[in-house]
Chains A and B, each alone.
Chain A
Amino acid sequence: MSGTVLVIDDERQIRRLLRLTLEAATYHVIEAETGKDGLLEAAQRRPDAVILDLGLPDLDGREVLTRLREWSRVPVLILSVRDDAEGKVAALDAGADDYVTKPFDTAELLARLRVIQRRSVAETGDPVCECGPLRVDLAAHSVTLGREEIKLTPTEFSLLRVLIRHAGRIVTHRQLLREVWGDKAENQSQYLRVYITHLRRKLEPRPGSPRLIHTEVGIGYRLIDPGAAA
């Protein structure tokens, strides 16, 4: 998958490196050094994805994100040196699609970029989602792992549905709680822990070594990238 990527970062070295990496992966790259330039470029050039640094000289990266989200749904990947959970959750809540911390692994960066660009593909309304050995038919409420049919409780199924709809992408605790249990349950993280444990027991061949559901410490969960798993 390719397209135009807007890189908003004040570090010249990082921009240069990203340009090399992304162009090698057949992306077309636009660079912006400041938040304001970035917003301008995003409006004029209509990129297919944005890679945004949080620590910009003029505007706070979160501010750029908020302004961008006022008029655009372009996928945004945050690239920042900050690796505290609160910062990540805040950026994700502000509308970012995923998060990569510096120093980053270029392969991982490309994979994440690919996943967030594919969002529209996941939202085509196809009732059947596949993710590695896992196959979920949202319309029929059936789950199969390899050949085996897995029986899930309604709550477990709702949880899996949210995860698989965002497969490959990070889903925050709050988002999961809200979508599965409703707005009032946002602070009831123990529900989530329990049902994730249940799900893992049923879905992962060897409980304890998560292969399908990955824990993002302090932030949320990520179902493995169907593309990578396939």
Chain B
Amino acid sequence: METHDRPDPDALLASIHRESSKQRRGRLRIFFGMAPGVGKTYAMLAAGKQRLAEGIDVVVGVVETHGRSETGAMLAGLPILARRQVDYRGIHLEEFDLDAALARRPALILIDELAHSNVVGSRHPKRYQDVLELLDAGIDVYSTVNVQHLASRADIVSQITGIAVRETVPDSLIEMADVDLVDLPPEQLRARLAEGKVYLGDRAAVASDHFFRPGNLTALREMALRVTAERVDQELRDFMRSQQISGPWKAAERLLVAVSPSPFSARLVRWTRRTAAALDASWIVVHVESSRAVSEAEKARVTQNLELARELGAEVITTTGDDVVESLLRVARQNNVTQIVLGKSPGHPWSDFLRGGSLVDRVVRNCGDIDVYVVRAESGTESGRQRLVSPATRPPLAEYLHATLAVVGIVTGCLLLRTTVGYSAVSLVLLATVLVCGLYFGRGPVLLAAALSAVAWNFLFIPPLYTFHIAEVHDTLTFGLFFVVALVVGSLTERLKRSERAERHREERATALYRFIETLATSATLEDAFVAAARHINAVFHADSTVLFEPTGATDEGLVPYPLSLAAMSDRDRAVAAWAYSNGRAAGRFTDTLGEADAIFLPIKRLKVTFGVLRVAIPKNAALSFSERQLLETFADQLAAVIERDRLAQAVQMTRLSEEADRLRSTLLDCVSHELKTPLAAVAAASEGLAAAPPPSTAQALVDEIREGVRRLHRVINGLLDMTRLETGIVRPQREWCEIRELVESAIEDETVALRGRDVTVEIPPNLPLVKVDFSLLSQALGKLLGNSGVHSPVGQPVRVSADVRGGELTLAVTDRGAGLPDGVPIFEKFTRGDPAHTGGIGLGLSIARGFVEAHGGSLRAEAASGGGVAFVISLPVETSHLAEVTP
């Protein structure tokens, strides 16, 4: 087929991504070995020294020499990062100091034993997670790991060596790293062990007899070589893909593995991962949630298994359905799966029979063209057995009691009717009773009712009476049928109830999500949305949740919690939140990072941008199922969508504002060019005239002309500058104590020219208190009003200035006897002149006056004054201080 010789675009993308992410992030180089003592650390140190000699900033993050003298000698000369001192349960421990390493920012850091588990209370439970964070920070890392610690090989190693491997490293680390295999033939390693170069003293002898048996070493060596070979193979494939070299492309294989709460599932997942890697195929892990009740322990195990799958790089899908086989096949078909992996679990013969064969049988029968792998189950799946005694939906005692009472009542009634209806009819009545019980009770009570009815019928009604002996054959048959009917009815009702419950659960989840979205949609502001979201999550999960969000532009404030309850957040919570925020990954409880926190912290993110963190603290003893976590993640996604929408709206708003600004700018240019050029022209012409040495009287007139022009220019420029300051928000009142009369006089003095010929009266009540305002801004605002009155009122008319302070509010009014307010002219708008007939001015005065007053939190309004003219009234809230209160 054609598709076979073409590179799969997805794989190509992934390969490119791998390449580019290699460039951005730090590079990881792993010194890989088959067992301790082959010289990985030595090789790593040697490589580190070489880089140091090349002039690269190399630091030893953590190295264990295990008392090996060769390694110790190699370590000398390399700068070593101080370890973090930890006291854990009275034991003094030293751990790698991740924060110090991040702060130090070397170009290359050497970190021994990648599989190491950090002490409880560290940021990450595993050292490899520290390494990932270093890589994210762009720091190159050299590290060491043994084949036994590889997640996909750990179980095989324990099978071979009989030693359980607890500390594992995901295979993805090997895949992203440059791998240096440090190889040593088993005999040489044993020789080194014997010489005491690996372990000191007695430990060497013990090790030699156990882990370091020649057979073990050979097997481990082969495994290490194979891993390295696979890695090289993958590199080759990557290279061929990126270079578009045609090769034997495999058909796109896709594996699916089903996961249950069984611990065996983890092995199944590892097996699939290995196979998928070998086939170069993608793989899906499916968990089918049935309506069957599961214990908290089982929930936790499923979550653990799915987490493992995720860690190993699987795509995880959970689905719901009571028929596991049907659900599995549905997912398989939807995802174009080519191979299904199943565990061969020792099923229950009876239930298998009732379901029409074991799970494996049924999948094989219905899978169509999908291949099925059946993988052997491990012994010791006792916890799998627990399922039978697991606290399933056990009917309460009351149901048994009610069933018994019902049967007893009916039997008593039938005893009275025995003579009239005959015992055969009684059997039907009792059967009906069992059926009715099925409507209300679970399987157990129904079975009990059936048993009681059968026994009572046999004992009390079937001849011979009051014995359990049955004379007639058809009575025996009826007796048997009783149980069959009861069993069937019981199972049916039970299943009905279960699916009803599951349906209700799904419904609840859907409703919760719908309500959540609705809540978000109806919130007016982001803050409201956050508070509502937190409240909603609290209701759904019985939790205490917080939305942590960093408002734009306020970088120093950090994450702000909504609702604003600072008490609920401990410092540790803040730290976890900060980590989740900066790394864009989930942290806290139920996760791998800082797992000992009280709450789970989910990043609110969209693509690569993290907007905030959703903190959810669910009650101490409760677990978080996978589907619940998914729901929470969906909530977080919705929040991210809301935030993104808000950001977009802001961007649109900005665009609109800048368009408005463009329009204003052009108006301004028109206005300004006219207003600046006119006086300039006058100045230029007058100077020319002066240069021609005119008679003294003309010279004086020309000088006056120049002065007038200059004054006008000055006014225009100041107006423009003030307006610009207001527009750009630079105007911030510097409030200080001011005397009102002084302020008014100052304004009048500044406008002497404009007010020439007008009779200015000042009305200020005596003993007004001092007010706290910006003297300069307010006197300028008042000056603009006075200037305006000067321009618009005829010479000889009065201009009245009055001031008063009442109830914490300062009122300043300027009243003139001019032409009054022009109709329909927005006099406070920029570049608006009340009377176009008046020359001069670019219509900024009143607009600036209002700007200055509003900067104080006050208002400026214009009213028609009695007797014609206009009254401009400034009113602003002020702090006051009485003269009498001030003592020298």
Which of these binds chain B: A18-26, A66-74, A136-144, A210-218? A210-218
Interface string of B855-888 (1 = CB under 8 A from A): 0000000000000000000000000010100101
Does B251 make an interface contact (CB < 8 A)?
Answer: no
Give Cα A210–Cα B714 distance, bound, in whole angstroms: 25
Give Cα A194–Cα B776 distance, bound, in whole angstroms: 18
Interface string of A60-90 (1 = CB under 8 A from B): 0000000000000000000000000110000
Give Cα A197–Cα B739 distance, bound, in whole angstroms: 8
> How far apart are A153's CB and chain B's nearest CB, in angstroms?
7
A193 & B745 in contact (Cβ 8 Å cutoff): no
Does B779 make an interface contact (CB < 8 A)?
Answer: yes
A197 & B742 in contact (Cβ 8 Å cutoff): yes
> How far apart are A115's CB and chain B's nearest CB, in angstroms?
20
Give Cα A155–Cα B888 distance, bound, in whole angstroms: 7
Give Cα A85–Cα B737 distance, bound, in whole angstroms: 16
> Chain B contact residues (Cβ within 8 angstroms of A): what range?
20 to 34
Give Cα A86–Cα B710 distance, bound, in whole angstroms: 26
Give Cα A197–Cα B886 distance, bound, in whole angstroms: 13
B737 & A217 in contact (Cβ 8 Å cutoff): no
Interface string of B704-739 (1 = CB under 8 A from A): 000000100010000000000000000000101111
Give Cα A189–Cα B746 distance, bound, in whole angstroms: 18
Give Cα A141–Cα B335 distance, bound, in whole angstroms: 103
B737 & A193 in contact (Cβ 8 Å cutoff): yes
CB under 8 Å from chain A, chain B span 424-471: none
> How far apart are B684's CB and chain A's nearest CB, in angstroms?
15
> How far apart are B184's CB and chain A's nearest CB, in angstroms?
70
Does A39 make an interface contact (CB < 8 A)?
Answer: no
Does A146 make an interface contact (CB < 8 A)?
Answer: no
Interface string of A185-201 (1 = CB under 8 A from B): 00001111111110000
> How far apart are B306's CB and chain A's nearest CB, in angstroms?
63
Question: Chain B residues with Cβ under 8 A from A155's Cβ?
Answer: 888
User: Given A218-B734, A218-B775, are A191 and B742 also a contact pair (CB < 8 Å)?
Assistant: no
User: Given A217-B775, A217-B776, are A193 and B742 also a contact pair (CB < 8 Å)?
Assistant: yes
Does A103 make an interface contact (CB < 8 A)?
Answer: yes
Give Cα A133–Cα B738 distance, bound, in whole angstroms: 27
Give Cα A189–Cα B883 distance, bound, in whole angstroms: 12
Give Cα A215–Cα B748 distance, bound, in whole angstroms: 13
B770 & A217 in contact (Cβ 8 Å cutoff): no
Does B25 make an interface contact (CB < 8 A)?
Answer: no
B714, B736, B739: the one within 8 Å of A196 (CB): B739
Does A209 make an interface contact (CB < 8 A)?
Answer: yes
> How far apart are B887's CB and chain A's nearest CB, in angstroms?
9
B736 & A194 in contact (Cβ 8 Å cutoff): no
A85, A193, A209, A217: the one within 8 Å of B739 (CB): A193
Does B762 make an interface contact (CB < 8 A)?
Answer: yes
Does B231 make an interface contact (CB < 8 A)?
Answer: no
Give Cα A103–Cα B745 distance, bound, in whole angstroms: 23
User: Given A85-B776, A218-B734, are A194 and B886 also a contact pair (CB < 8 Å)?
Assistant: yes
Question: Chain B residues with Cβ under 8 A from A191's Cβ?
Answer: 886, 888
Give Cα A191–Cα B886 distance, bound, in whole angstroms: 7
Does A208 make an interface contact (CB < 8 A)?
Answer: yes
A208 & B762 in contact (Cβ 8 Å cutoff): yes
User: Given A190-B770, A190-B886, A197-B739, are A103 and B714 also a contact pair (CB < 8 Å)?
Assistant: yes
Does B402 make an interface contact (CB < 8 A)?
Answer: no
B734, B742, B886: the one within 8 Å of A215 (CB): B742
Give Cα A154–Cα B888 distance, bound, in whole angstroms: 9
A208 & B737 in contact (Cβ 8 Å cutoff): no
B776 & A193 in contact (Cβ 8 Å cutoff): no
Does B116 make an interface contact (CB < 8 A)?
Answer: no
> How far apart are A17's CB and chain B's nearest CB, in angstroms?
13
Can you name the residue of chain B whose Cβ is closest to the Cβ of A210?
B745
Can you name the residue of chain A whose Cβ is closest to the Cβ of B730?
A84
Give Cα A192–Cα B738 distance, bound, in whole angstroms: 9
Give Cα A207–Cα B745 distance, bound, in whole angstroms: 10
Give Cα A187–Cα B736 distance, bound, in whole angstroms: 9
B737 & A218 in contact (Cβ 8 Å cutoff): no
B737 & A190 in contact (Cβ 8 Å cutoff): yes
Question: Chain B residues with Cβ under 8 A from A210's Cβ?
Answer: 742, 745
CB under 8 Å from chain A, chain B span 763-806: 770, 775-776, 779
Question: Chain B residues with Cβ under 8 A from A86's Cβ?
Answer: 734
Give Cα A193–Cα B769 distance, bound, in whole angstroms: 11
Can you name the residue of chain A whose Cβ is closest to the Cβ of B887?
A191
A189, A197, A208, A215: the one within 8 Å of B736 (CB): A189
Question: Chain B residues with Cβ under 8 A from A189's Cβ?
Answer: 736-737
B745, B779, B883, B886: the one within 8 Å of A208 (CB): B745
Question: Chain A residues with Cβ under 8 A from B736's Cβ?
Answer: 189
Can you name the residue of chain B whose Cβ is closest to the Cβ of A209?
B745
Give Cα A209–Cα B760 distance, bound, in whole angstroms: 12
Give Cα A33–Cα B220 distance, bound, in whole angstroms: 83
Does B741 make an interface contact (CB < 8 A)?
Answer: yes
A194 & B734 in contact (Cβ 8 Å cutoff): no
Give Cα A151–Cα B370 distance, bound, in whole angstroms: 113
Question: Chain A residues with Cβ under 8 A from B739's Cβ?
Answer: 193-194, 196-197
Give Cα A132–Cα B49 distance, bound, in whole angstroms: 88
B770 & A215 in contact (Cβ 8 Å cutoff): no
Give Cα A192–Cα B770 distance, bound, in whole angstroms: 11
Give Cα A86–Cα B742 distance, bound, in whole angstroms: 20
Question: Chain A residues with Cβ under 8 A from B775's Cβ?
Answer: 217-218
Give Cα A106–Cα B867 distance, bound, in whole angstroms: 44
A215 & B746 in contact (Cβ 8 Å cutoff): yes
Can you name the residue of chain A whose Cβ is closest to the Cβ of B883?
A194
A190 & B881 in contact (Cβ 8 Å cutoff): yes
Give Cα A217–Cα B745 distance, bound, in whole angstroms: 12
A208 & B888 in contact (Cβ 8 Å cutoff): no
Give Cα A15–Cα B739 distance, bound, in whole angstroms: 40
A217 & B886 in contact (Cβ 8 Å cutoff): no
Question: Chain A residues with Cβ under 8 A from B734's Cβ?
Answer: 85-86, 218
Can you name the residue of chain A whose Cβ is closest to the Cβ of B713?
A103
> How far apart are B638's CB and chain A's nearest CB, in angstroms?
49
Question: Chain A residues with Cβ under 8 A from B762's Cβ?
Answer: 208
Question: Chain A residues with Cβ under 8 A from B738's Cβ?
Answer: 193
Give Cα A210–Cα B886 distance, bound, in whole angstroms: 23
For this complex, 9 residue pairs linking A to B, each with C-beta atoms less than 8 Å apart, are A86-B734, A189-B737, A191-B888, A193-B742, A193-B770, A197-B883, A208-B762, A215-B745, A217-B779
Given contacts A190-B770, A193-B742, A217-B779, 20 further A-B contacts (CB under 8 A): A85-B734, A85-B776, A103-B710, A153-B888, A154-B888, A155-B888, A189-B736, A189-B737, A191-B886, A193-B739, A193-B770, A194-B739, A194-B886, A196-B739, A209-B745, A210-B742, A210-B745, A215-B742, A218-B775, A218-B776
The 5 closest A-B pairs by CB, nearest first: A190-B737, A155-B888, A218-B776, A217-B776, A189-B736
Residues in chain A within 8 A of chain B (CB atoms) = 85-86, 103, 153-155, 181, 189-197, 207-210, 215, 217-218
